[in-house]
Structure 1
């Protein structure tokens, strides 16, 4: 794994916007606009390196499924902050019927510097973003700059194949694709639009819809779209913990189709994905696979030995945080910053493994899983140890 500087293409912003990346710039706290899509540099990998990373991703995915099964079997929903018995029961039923429910994709965030084993930082298998840039613009960038090269990127074809394979699991009628109108950047909108395109290429009928415009037909007891059409299936880029707790949350639970045919709405991703996108998963994994070379020690009851005089330090992560929100870093030894919890949050404490430094940039790998298989890579850089909303996306090639 190496980082290389390169001159950006002329008119690069217009080029990537035409390819679906309508948010190529990020506004920073000082008011300046700086590139989110950053092609002033790129990363390169050797083919054996990528093949080893693919195997790691698929092993981690299998381990996460085993951990999800353990949570359900041992009724450990309270560790995830799920205290509503009804919601816990529906998640468990969704898990048991997972073979009957469509489930599309997820993204591992990995710490990797090219020299040692990749370390799992977390898994977002409910509402992962940075998909558009990983699937499309970076592929076209490679074709422009390195014709004939290769890339760890089979995202598009795998997404189409996943929709096609899982089409028989969907109820009759169009699949609605919903994003939130609160998304000011357009990232959620374009992610949903791209996934809708892959579904259409698989032969599915689709409809676009904002989450805020989903209606409830009280007489029929069904969710409806703006034209009062029943929503039988819906891909939503909207976290399950919001969906279940919003004002219409009780209706979601009342009409949840868990594959038994008695519900009215099949949500994609399914409810069991809540088991994988919760940071408590990290602690359960460490319990089940202590010392695994691709895992970091993680606990729910405090940092334990991580905060000791000989410990590596730790990162405190809210169980449901995204884009680095609420994450705090605590270095090793007595000089580490003290942990001051938010009284409204519950945390997972994970061993500190500082992101590798490439030319002053802190790098994290976003390794994609589609339909249970490794499917591609997106790379983000940040200035600090936490990859937040000011990170940059850089393309890559396989040497």
Structure 2
């Protein structure tokens, strides 16, 4: 693994916007010294590294599914701050094996040892367009003879073909709260992959989904029943909404309700409890940091690096935010590796139950947040 420099393509901004990354300006805070999409640098991997990472990612995914089984069989829903009224429905969702499509692991990796799990974005992961599409076309333009860890698009189309969903169109739901366009474009891209799989689809805003109390069903603005829906809207928000009690019992949702147990950072503590000392895990605990002298306190339902606190013998560093009322997980802190002053996080994609690709974000800070930049990668020939 190494970081290399290159010359950005002429009109690169126009190119990536035409490929769906239309939100690259709005999703990145203004006043920063580099753009969100930065192709002036990229990372290079060997095929052996990528094959090893694929194996580690798929093992992590299997371990995470084991945590779901453990939580449901032992009834440990309270550790995940899930409202008690939803416990039975989460268990039923798992027992039915409600279908899932995709997820993203965030990993610490420096090229010299096993990857370390930072968190699992299993419910509403983004950076999909840049990982699946934009960096692939960058590779074709700049290094057409090289490869890339990237079968995300093909795997998504294949996964939609595999699903056995109720009759009728799949509704693809975004939220009107999205001010940057990132979520809308992510949903539109996933809708396109479903259409390439031969499925009928419809786009809808979450705010426009209605509840037909008489017939006990969800409906779109045209009154059509919503039998299945992909939503880029977190389950914890749905469970907190007025219609949450209906949502858990009606319609097929992708991602499914059982993913509330994987998109929650309490997962990190249970992974360590069930697999102590595993080479791909950092020690993590609920309630307090126990023996850890260097740790990061992560809100169980936090997003974009908000409301975190790093504690080391040298001092404490915090990020602003309003998360944390649901509780914290305390994870052993290992600073991200440094490549030419930048700290990369590897975002490893899972489609169905298989590793499918890689996206890299990097920043100068210790915590990857909305100021980080996305950089492409290649596998050297």
- Tell me which interval the TM-score lies in, with the shorter structure as reference length: over 0.9
Map 1:311-326 → 2, pairs under 5 A? 313-326=294-307
CA shift, 1:35, in A, is 1.1
Query: Is the Cα contact below 8 Å between 2:6 and 2:39 reproduced in 1?
Result: yes
Query: Is the Cα contact below 8 Å between 1:152 and 1:377 reproduced in 2?
Result: yes
Query: Is the Cα contact below 8 Å between 1:222 and 1:231 reproduced in 2?
Result: yes
Within 1, Cα distance between the matches of 2:200 and 2:326? Answer: 41
SS of 2:114 mapped into structure 1: coil
Within 2, Cα distance between the matches of 1:338 and 1:363? Answer: 19
Within 2, Cα distance between the matches of 1:338 and 1:163? Answer: 43
Map 1:85-100 → 2, pairs under 5 A? 86-98=85-97
Within 2, Cα distance between the matches of 1:87 and 1:48? Answer: 44
The Cα offsets for residues 34-83 of structure 1, whole Å up to 9 and x where unpaired, read as 41111110000000000000000000000111111111111111100114
Q: How many residues align?
A: 378
Within 2, Cα distance between the matches of 1:222 and 1:41? Answer: 50
Query: Is the Cα contact below 8 Å between 2:305 and 2:368 reproduced in 1?
Result: yes
Within 1, Cα distance between the matches of 2:318 and 2:179? Answer: 32
Gaps of 5+ in 2: none
Aligned to 1:269: 255
Q: Does 1:283 align with 2:283?
A: no
Aligned mate of 1:107, from 95, 104, 109: 104
Which 4+ stretches in 1 moved above 6 angstroms? 338-343
Within 2, Cα distance between the matches of 1:232 and 1:338? Answer: 46
Q: Does 1:208 align with 2:185?
A: no
After superposing the two structures, state which structure 1 stretch, 87-96 or 370-379, moved more. Answer: 87-96
Gaps of 5+ in 1: 257-263, 308-312
Within 1, Cα distance between the matches of 2:264 and 2:34? Answer: 31
The Cα offsets for residues 79-127 of structure 1, whole Å up to 9 and x where unpaired, read as 001142x2011001111111xx221010000000101110000101100
CA shift, 1:244, in A, is 1.4
Query: Is the Cα contact below 8 Å between 1:318 and 1:346 reproduced in 2?
Result: yes
Q: Does 1:70 align with 2:49?
A: no
TM-score, normalised to structure 2's length?
Answer: 0.96
Aligned to 2:60: 60
The Cα offsets for residues 266-289 of structure 1, whole Å up to 9 and x where unpaired, read as 111110011111100100000111
CA shift, 1:16, in A, is 0.3
Query: Is the Cα contact below 8 Å between 1:80 and 1:319 reproduced in 2?
Result: yes
Within 2, Cα distance between the matches of 1:28 and 1:65? Answer: 33
Within 2, Cα distance between the matches of 1:81 and 1:282? Answer: 14
The Cα offsets for residues 246-299 of structure 1, whole Å up to 9 and x where unpaired, read as 12222213xx2xxxxxxx411111100111111001000001110000000000
CA shift, 1:344, in A, is 2.3
Q: Does 1:293 align with 2:279?
A: yes
Map 1:111-130 → 2, pairs under 5 A? 111-130=108-127
CA shift, 1:25, in A, is 2.4
Structure 1 residues 297 and 207: CA distance shift in structure 2, 3 A: same
Map 1:1-399 → 2, pairs under 5 A? 1-25=1-25, 31=31, 34-84=34-84, 86-98=85-97, 101-166=98-163, 169-253=164-248, 256=249, 264-307=250-293, 313-331=294-312, 333=313, 335-337=314-316, 344-399=325-380
Query: Is the Cα contact below 8 Å between 2:27 and 2:182 reproduced in 1?
Result: no
CA RMSD, aligned part only? 1.7
After superposing the two structures, state which structure 1 stretch, 44-53 or 24-33, moved more. Answer: 24-33
Within 1, Cα distance between the matches of 2:231 and 2:347? Answer: 21
After superposing the two structures, state which structure 1 stretch, 30-39 or 195-204, moved more. Answer: 30-39
